[in-house]
Chains A and B, each alone.
Chain A
Amino acid sequence: MRPGMSGAPRLLLPRLFLPRLFLAVAGALLLLPLPGWIGGVHGAFAVIAILAVAAYGLDIVVSDLGEVSLAHTVFFAAGAYATGLLATRAGAGSWVTLPAALLAGLAIALLLGLITLSLREFVFSLVTYAASVVAAAVAHNWNVLGGSDGVSGIPTLDLSIGPLRLAARNDAELWPFALALLLVTLYAVRQFRRSRLGAMAMMVHLNPRLATMSGIDVRRVRLRVFLLSAPFSAAAGWLYAYQRAYVGPDLFETYFLVLMLTAVVLVGRRLLLGPLLGTALIIGQERFLSFGGDINAILLGGALILSLAVLPSGGTSGGTGGLAGGLAGLLERLRPRAPDAAAPPAEGRSVPQP
């Protein structure tokens, strides 16, 4: 399958969201007191920021590399478990648990990346899915990881350096840290998309043959992007462990997997703010407009189906898809159509490979 680049939504939206530096700084400063203004919803905001960071790890694999990794919950959980175990059993501080969490995520990603080096599409996805099943089985059964009970009693976040007090005893104090992690992540993802590796990833994604002919080592690029994606999700797990003060095998439940995937595709792919808005919509619904776990699950799964199978121009990989793609498609339809700009037939998009 060779997706055609559908131009319209890509032109329209990234420009809209293009973060000018001062706008970004002003926006971030405005976000800081926002949960207080709304009425003490720091917990929800912190969770949105944390899970959005986890989703950004998945985002660069799904949107840029074009593969669906189902193992990012494992990286997320690895970060959380490393933090929980070190903080409770070894009394490690937050400056120690952070690199440990990143390393844990990276190590698992390296192992999995090497195994799946030459696998693509659904085989890649199934092996990563199987990896999360195995990880869940290990977490449930291995006493070192706390078994089914998990690890509880994780101390609060404390990043104090010398006289500088940087600690978070509650959600209100944790929110600035979550926001900071989110901003660092946003900046890193933006820089990645502008980097050589980011460009190579897109080329490998959209035209692997051309990439190979241009002298790009496809496997190397795939492995490097996969490795790069893991620390984001692991860092999110690090902060999540402090936020919840508990780490358990529930981190491997499909909920987190579907949440991350939906966050990535709901608003639209390759939009810098897409996963953040997606996470905000999902967590916002769960926290402020909840209908109970079962209906929430139906809504979340339904949103995933909607954004890929129902909304227009949710093309495979080149296009944006999601709500933004749907909106762009709608605008396109409302606009008077120029005679030469007839939409390409849907089936013309997939050019069979020889």
Chain B
Amino acid sequence: MNLVQQLINGLIIGHAYALIAIGWTVLLGVARLVNFGHGQMYMLAAFVTWWGVAGLGLPYPLAILLAMAGGVLLGLVMQLTMLRLTFAQDLVSIMIVTLGFGHVMRGLAGLLFGGNPQVLETPLSWIDFEIAGAWVTAQDLLIVVAAIAVFLLLRLVLERGALGRTARMVAEDPKLAQLGGIDVRRVYLAVFAFEGAAVALAAALVAPRTPILTSIGFEEVIITFVVVVLGGIGSIGGSYLAGIGLGLFTALFGGFVSPAYATSAAFGVLILVLVLRPGGLALGAKGGRA
């Protein structure tokens, strides 16, 4: 494969990464929350989409909506379980609990969908055309368009509207926000519901590119983390750019160096950033640093 093909491939992967990471970006930016079950939510949503298409015979767009509804439900269940920890801003316990949720989801997926790898076939993955020597499917283009649309929408909503003001206030100081008459509980629930819907949308769009297994999702968390950190924690525009950058890097590294170590190399980039630009990691006043 030549350079141009890898660049086009990287752009597509980059949009996929950005889309996968958006739920976490909002979760961290708005609510100062983390979700280590993110990858397993991706896996479960991919299975639900597959089941919707192959099992229920739904058209692909309806299967996407089904997966997103499932994601919302899952997000609400998780946040309802963790409300006490959330109000105490007990990030350490939240981290462990979301890991536990991830493990439960993996067992659940094995139970419901079996251990065999499945392939989600969408009508769009059959349409392909050539751009500068690279073969691109309509599914790939859908990922790019959807990622751009979601990011534009979020920018509009979070950085302009009243909703964004409320969210930022909760992020800045949950107690003060509550005194100010904001129902903080509802904001937290809404943010987690959004996280569920966003990761489900990403899974429904991106999962057709690879086989779906109960063991996937492990790497998605790492990719998500690298995107969120590189983009500046909680920054919407930043994480979009970081996703694209990481996608280009992965495609080039995978194409010219070694595909097996692409994720490891992404982690290498992360370490470089941590060592060279540790200040960029500051998580508001709370700080993820000593």
Contact = CB atoms under 8 A, between A and B. Distances in A.
Contact of A308 (B34, B85, B107, B278): B85
B92 A126 contact: no
B290 A133 contact: no
B51 interface: no
A131 B221 CA distance: 12
A92 B267 CA distance: 34
Contacts of A349: 88
Contact of A219 (B93, B103, B175, B290): B290
Given A130-B270, A352-B173, A301 B85 contact: no
Interface stretch (A154-162, A231-239, A254-262): A254-262
Given A118-B278, A120-B288, A130-B270, A258 B84 contact: no
* Dominant secondary structure at the B interface: helix
Interface residues of A, number: 64
A304 B88 contact: no
A81 B75 CA distance: 38
Interface stretch (A20-28, A181-189, A271-279, A309-317): A309-317
Contacts of A121: 91-92, 288
B93 A314 contact: yes
A310 B110 CA distance: 25
B290 A346 contact: no
Contacts of A340: none
* Dominant secondary structure at the A interface: helix
Interface stretch (B9-17, B94-102, B193-201): B94-102
Interface of B: 34, 36, 81-82, 84-85, 87-93, 95-97, 99-108, 110-111, 173, 175, 218-219, 221-222, 225-226, 229, 260-261, 263-264, 267, 270-271, 274-275, 278, 281, 283, 285-290
Interface of A: 1, 3, 66-68, 70, 115, 118-127, 129-131, 133-134, 136-138, 140-141, 208, 218-219, 222, 254-255, 257-258, 261-262, 265, 293-305, 308-310, 314-317, 346-347, 349-350, 352-353
19 contacts: A67-B92, A119-B274, A121-B91, A122-B95, A122-B288, A123-B281, A123-B283, A136-B218, A137-B263, A261-B100, A293-B110, A294-B108, A299-B107, A304-B97, A304-B103, A305-B100, A308-B93, A314-B93, A316-B88
